[in-house]
Amino acid sequence: MTNEQEVRAALARITRLLAAQVGSDLKVTERAPLLHRLGVDRATIAVVCGTSPEVVSVRVAESRRGAGGSRRTASQTKGRAGASV
Q: Answer whether residue 72 is part of any domain.
A: no
pLDDT in tens, 6-51: 999 999 999 999 999 999 999 999 999 999 999 999 999 999 999 9
Q: Is residue 77 part of a domain?
A: no
The total domain count for the chain is 1
SS (H, E, C) 3-56: HHHHHHHHHHHHHHHHHHHCCCCCCHHHHHHHHHHCCCCHHHHHHHHCCCHHHH
Does residue 15 sit within a domain? yes
| Domain housing 55 | 3-67
pLDDT at residue 56 tops 60: yes
Residue at 10 is within a domain: yes
* Residue 76 is assigned to a structural domain of this protein: no
The verdict on pTM exceeding 0.85 is no
Residue 2 is predicted with a pLDDT of 86
Domain presence at residue 80: no
78 lies in some domain: no
Whether 17 maps to a domain, the answer reads yes
Q: What is the model's pLDDT at position 66?
A: 86
